[in-house]
Amino acid sequence: MRAAVYTGDSTVSVESVPTPAIGPGELLIRVEACGICHTDLKKIEYNLLTPPRIFGHETAGVIAAAGRDVRGFSVGDRVIVFHHIPCLECFYCRHKLFAQCAVYKKVGVTAGYEPAGGGFSQYVRVMDWIVHRGVEKIPDGVSFDRACFVEPVNTCLKGVIQLNPQPEDVVVILGQGPIGLLFTMLVKRSGATMIGSDAMPHRRELAARFGAAAAFDPRDPNLLSRIMEMTGGRGADLVIVAASAPGIVEQAVSYSRPGSRILLFAQTSHQERIEVSGADVCMGERVIFGSYSASVDLQKDSADLVFSGALPVEDLVSHRFALNEIRLGISLALHPEPKSLKIIVQPQRWS
């Protein structure tokens, strides 16, 4: 089969590799669509993991083979797959901190080499503990492109539930890329008032379309005063940091009121550093917290939101690339054009 292999030095090369062999309790999935996620981009751009690897984890496809003892799935089923599933028994699982579980940290989907998701390939092997809890069937009439949003929607839904916006809250969402816009869609369901920010006009337009009361350019020197005007001079009740840029967390603090809660979602690289005033946190009684990756408890809920059409996720897809064009897709994701948003790789296509 063909796969996009990370070979080190921030390089991805489309190569011919063996189709993965499956064992008892495992599935082989023919990948039809896989979204490009910024966590994988960071791993490639900053060389965070040793090569070779095959990345890609927002995976939707068709079961091509099922191992002995697989129950509930058949060849030909259309499915999405989560690449992390926790043990549900350890200290962290008992405290609902699934992303900190040792089993969760062990990737269970691979296209070869050290398991890394594998969705940027034509086939992936799904290991048995993932098959047990981490595969969801795609209903008829739902496209693979829409289905591959289930995992990112899960991660955002997890953050929103932790943030717990209420109808009387004002929520500032910094960044209106694909993830920021998913947050906008989800927070809208709470009835809270949203203020978005993004440097790209098209993304600000979409933020307003998906429910933001206002969307501003973060470079606007009057942005702080605008937020204060919309919050009675107090500042935002809640802030979601859905982008990664120097100084963005400090901005989040400045836009928030005393006693606010600030969710860090995009700060996933150990190379990122944050410096904020201790007094702004301590004396201002602010809470700064992180939310990372998916929750197995929200798997069905996130699938229902995507499959039902309750969230217009397909409106976020701006580009679709064949597997041999993946370097163009990665470059575009790293250096967005004015109207680029979610980028989908379709491994069965070959341009």
Average pLDDT of the residues in 3-21: 97
Q: What is the per-residue pLDDT across 113-130, written as a single tens digit (0 to 9) for each?
A: 999 999 999 999 999 999
The pLDDT confidence band at residue 21, using thresholds 50, 70 and 90, is: very high
Query: Contact at 8 Å (CB) between 254 and 241?
Result: no
pLDDT of 138 reads: 98
123 bridge partner residues: 30
Looking at the chain, the whole-number percentage of residues with pLDDT higher than 70 is 100
- pLDDT number for residue 1: 98
Is the pLDDT confidence value at 270 over 90? Answer: no
pLDDT of residue 36: 98
pLDDT of res. 351: 80
**Dist. CA 316–CA 331, nearest whole Å:** 18
Handedness of CA 259, 264, 269, 271 (dihedral sign): negative
Token duo for residue 217: 């350019």
Q: Among 212, 217, 215, which Cα is nearest to 194's?
A: 212
pLDDT at 272 over 90: no
What average pLDDT does the chain have?
97
Residue 315 confidence (pLDDT): 97
What is the residue-wise DSSP string for 182-251?
Answer: HHHHHHHTTT-EEEEE-S-HHHHHHHHHTT-SEEE-TT-TTHHHHHHHHTTTS-EEEEEE-S--TTHHHH
The predicted pLDDT at position 136 comes to 98
> pLDDT-based confidence at 4, cuts 50/70/90?
very high
Domains of the chain: 2-149+311-346 (3.90.180.10), 154-290 (3.40.50.720)
Q: Pseudo-torsion of CA 326, 116, 135, 322, nearest 10°?
A: 10
The two three-digit tokens of residue 176, written as one number: 């209106």
pLDDT higher than 90, residue 271: no
Question: pLDDT tens digits for 169-210?
Answer: 999 999 999 999 999 999 999 999 999 999 999 999 999 999
* pLDDT for 227: 98
* b/e burial code for range 134-149 (CB count within 10 A of at least 16 → b): bbbbbeeebebbbbbb
Mean local confidence (pLDDT), 137-156: 98
pLDDT tens digits along 301-342: 999 999 999 999 999 999 999 999 999 999 999 999 999 999
Q: What is the pLDDT of residues 29-68, one digit of tens each?
A: 999 999 999 999 989 998 989 999 999 999 999 999 999 9
For residue 58, report the phi and psi dihedrals to the nearest 5 degrees: -95, 75
The pLDDT value given to residue 158: 98
